[in-house]
Structure 1
Amino acid sequence: MKKAYLGTLTPLRGLAAIWVVIYHFDEVTSFAGLPHLISRESSMILGKGYLWVDFFFILSGFVITHVYADKFKVFGLDTITSFIKARFARLYPLHLLLLFLHLIFFGSLLVLAPKTASDFGFLFPQDGFWLHLVFGETFGNPNGLSWNMPAWSIGAEWWTYLIMVPVFVWLFKKRNLTLAALSIVGVTLLVLIPGWHDKGNMDTTWEFGLFRCISEFSIGILVYQAFKSRIGRGFFQKDAVGVGLLTMVVACMHYGVEDIFTVGVFAFVILSLAYNKGMLNRLATYRAPQFFGDISFSLYMFQALWLYGYWMGIQYWMSTHPGEAPGTMMLLMLMIFMLIGNSLSAWLSFRFFEQPARIWIRSISFKQIRSRLSYARR
């Protein structure tokens, strides 16, 4: 039986992707030696933008459990292979496309702008390419963030999917024990991660990004169990509660409160909006919010190409205009231009590559693959 579509959650993916892109734009601006668009002393509203990746991880745990968990009631090889194939079809085609687009981008720089290629070569290490090819960029990558930088989180999701297969099985055999274990793992990692690296927050990527994903994916599973059991439904389904929780997220980010608290609020936001059937649900079904939710994966994955172009362009402009730093208004216009370009490329990708590739891979059975491999060996 096909699960109900939770349309209220779809626009949140778009919001999260756009916020992460703006956060990275602001970070790259500072890398180029320019001030942040909004000073960190006055507000952390952009500085805490990395937390929307944590939102993605929680939402992923919630949605994956909603769609797939019941299928593990009938446990067998077909169940596992079907799940793995579906998640591979979702992640890998776009990941591979972006990796090769970055290869073409860097190759073009080597030919057309060798000095720029030399200055930014640290972003494109040769051994890093092979790590990205096998989702290995989340296992303590010695090169740090490289190639398609956001892809570390996609690698973290992939390995988390594989780790969670036995969890979905145990949910039906040892439900209470499994939920208790998820609670311990999720909360313990959430508390420990900020102390594992110099930043002292949840903004860890290639170092401990896998643990970050496991923690928050586990929380997402727990939130879904609360949703399925209708815990707090009468309270959380109210529009006022949903708006209040979203406002609390913005306030937490603005004032720079501890990341753990904001992550906790994210969990309640997802629960509230999953329950909601009122005004927020109606707003979420409008075409624009659904559109940005649909293209959110491509929007997230294409951002690095646009950000690299912006970074290189700003560095070149500053080197040829010494003492003439671009003003805030110019930077805002560049950001808007980049968001429009990123959205357009994301739509094209979603429409003509991401969706068709996913459908094609999911249509291929493992029996067909074995048959073709056997034929190729003849």
Structure 2
Amino acid sequence: MKSHYHVLDGLRGTAAFSVFTFHILEMLVPSLELNPMPHTFLAVDFFFALSGFILGHAYDARMCDGGRLAPSGFFMRRLIRLHPMVLVAMVVGVLGYLFDPFAGNAQRIGPALSPGMLLLTFCLSLLLLPAPTLPNYFGETHPVNGPSWTLLQEYIANVLYALFASRLGRKPHIVLCCASALALLWTAKRFGNLGYGWGWDHYWVAPVRLACPFLLGLLVYRMKLRIALPHPYAVLSLALVAVFAAPVFRAYNWLYEAVCVIVVFPCILMAGAGADQGEDGRGWLARLAGELSYPVYIVHYPFIYIFAHWNWSTHPSRPVLAAAGVGMYCGVTLFALALSRWYDRPLRAWLARVCLAREAEPTRFSPQSAS
């Protein structure tokens, strides 16, 4: 049985809750320079790096060097891991759009959408495919649930891993890392930051943001690069939050964000992988954060829109606004925990029994596998 990297799982949770916080602040403080966490969209790049590392850890031995796991078996495992939460997130997203009581009072953005186009958008979203944008939203390629654009990139990474990366040699791997890092640097320089890839006008940025961190994360695993730190989950969580909360560096902001992805995040992976869970007294917190990371990330955004429309249309006082924000944060967290315990885990376990029963190799299934 493979060991489990609970610190890395916990760091995914730290990143997911940081994204949740950032999206709330983004609706209250539209200016990126005034946002207390202006670089938090880099959590997406950290997720991609984690995916590269965890896929290598979970599947390299089973798919490389005569491993018995075929690509079809790999794809089935990944669908079982990821798609149950995708389905419920899209249902939450479309219900939030249809029954948002404050959207009619908010400033309309974009043309009205016919019922037929809304149904098409929802069906495409269930498959994680780009879809027509929705009125009162911000032109996302995945408007039913904005963050799901990153899940499509995860699926692309999984396909490329199964077909090519699982057998990628060391030298071409390093060459690809260097080439993708240069592409990332060029992209960051062009825009001034890396907070793109989610909208139709800049969707080409999404695979650029995927390639470099994913390949680097896979390389960190394969080269067995490790760093030992005391209290790794607490220290590395603080490091992540510090990356996200650093000020905007104006002319050099693009360089800061690119260096975070190319250098800082791989180092955080090394330290998280080098952690001895037996010595980490906060192991339970890392495990809980890891369990909540995926459901919190994938279901929170529809509630952000309702919160924003309520704020923009009713103009509440600051104490009321703060109380509503805290209440939403806690409520979505509890909702995510309920989904994990009573929907996602049981459904994935059942699907694993049904869909993988005929395979000779036992299913090594973990609730906190890679997102």
Q: TM-score range by the shorter chain?
A: 0.7 to 0.9
The match for 2:329 is 339
Which one of 195, 205, 227 corresponds to residue 203 of structure 1? 195
Instruction: Provide the aligned length of Structure 1 versus Structure 2.
Output: 337
Counterparts of 1:357 and 1:40, CA distance in 2: 42
Counterparts of 2:156 and 2:273, CA distance in 1: 26
Instruction: Tell me if structure 2 keeps the 8 A contact 1:21–1:303.
Output: yes
Q: Which amino acid aligns with 1:223?
A: V
Counterparts of 1:88 and 1:333, CA distance in 2: 38
Counterparts of 2:236 and 2:286, CA distance in 1: 19
Q: Please state if 1:361 is matched with 2:351.
A: yes
Alignment of 1:43-122 (within 5 A): 45-73=36-64, 78-109=69-100, 115-116=104-105, 119=108
Q: Which amino acid aligns with 1:283?
A: G
- Give me the CA root mean square deviation: 3.3
Counterparts of 2:155 and 2:131, CA distance in 1: 10
Counterparts of 2:354 and 2:36, CA distance in 1: 45
What secondary structure, in the 3-state scheme, does the structure 1 residue paired with 2:146 have?
A: coil
Counterparts of 2:5 and 2:63, CA distance in 1: 21
Return closer, same or farther for 1:139/1:15 CA change in 2, 3 Å cut-off: farther
Return closer, same or farther for 1:165/1:113 CA change in 2, 3 Å cut-off: same
Write the deviation string for residues 237-259 of structure 1: whole angstroms up to 9, x where unpaired. 13289877665554444233510
Counterparts of 1:362 and 1:91, CA distance in 2: 12
TM-score by length of 1: 0.78
Instruction: Tell me if structure 1 keeps the 8 A contact 2:105–2:309.
Output: yes
* CA displacement at 1:134 relative to structure 2: 2.2
**Gapped regions of structure 1 (runs ≥ 5):** 319-324, 369-378
Q: Please state if 1:299 is matched with 2:303.
A: no
The match for 1:322 is none
The match for 2:369 is none
Which one of 257, 279, 291 corresponds to residue 259 of structure 1? 257
* CA displacement at 1:91 relative to structure 2: 1.5
**Structure with higher RCO (Cα < 8 A, 6+ apart):** 2
Counterparts of 1:73 and 1:296, CA distance in 2: 29
The match for 2:338 is 348
Counterparts of 1:152 and 1:195, CA distance in 2: 22
Counterparts of 1:202 and 1:131, CA distance in 2: 26
Counterparts of 2:103 and 2:283, CA distance in 1: 48
TM-score by length of 2: 0.79
The match for 1:376 is none
* CA displacement at 1:285 relative to structure 2: 0.9
Structure of greater Rg: 1
Return closer, same or farther for 1:107/1:138 CA change in 2, 3 Å cut-off: closer
Counterparts of 1:140 and 1:315, CA distance in 2: 20
Return closer, same or farther for 1:46/1:160 CA change in 2, 3 Å cut-off: same
Q: Which amino acid aligns with 2:194?
A: M
Write the deviation string for residues 201-224 of structure 1: whole angstroms up to 9, x where unpaired. 111123121321122111110111
Counterparts of 1:189 and 1:67, CA distance in 2: 28
Q: Please state if 1:144 is matched with 2:140.
A: yes
* CA displacement at 1:278 relative to structure 2: 7.3
The match for 2:124 is 131
* CA displacement at 1:74 relative to structure 2: 5.3
Instruction: Tell me if structure 1 keeps the 8 A contact 2:233–2:272.
Output: yes
Q: Please state if 1:289 is matched with 2:286.
A: yes
What secondary structure, in the 3-state scheme, does the structure 2 residue paired with 1:295 have?
A: helix
Instruction: Tell me if structure 1 keeps the 8 A contact 2:196–2:206.
Output: yes
Counterparts of 1:77 and 1:128, CA distance in 2: 39
What secondary structure, in the 3-state scheme, does the structure 1 residue paired with 2:10 have?
A: helix
Counterparts of 2:332 and 2:223, CA distance in 1: 36
Write the deviation string for residues 270-295 of structure 1: whole angstroms up to 9, x where unpaired. 1012112279x513412x33212111
Q: Which amino acid aligns with 1:203?
A: G
Write the deviation string for residues 109-145 of structure 1: whole angstroms up to 9, x where unpaired. 4xx6783599477798635434323222399999425
The match for 2:167 is 170
Q: Which amino acid aligns with 1:361?
A: L
Q: Which amino acid aligns with 1:219?
A: L
Q: Which amino acid aligns with 2:125?
A: H
Return closer, same or farther for 1:84/1:269 CA change in 2, 3 Å cut-off: same
Counterparts of 1:247 and 1:118, CA distance in 2: 38
Instruction: Tell me if structure 2 keeps the 8 A contact 1:128–1:143.
Output: no
The match for 1:371 is none
Q: Which amino acid aligns with 1:202?
A: L
Q: Please state if 1:21 is matched with 2:13.
A: no
Write the deviation string for residues 170-198 of structure 1: whole angstroms up to 9, x where unpaired. 23xxx2233223323431232132245xx
Instruction: Tell me if structure 1 keeps the 8 A contact 2:7–2:233.
Output: no
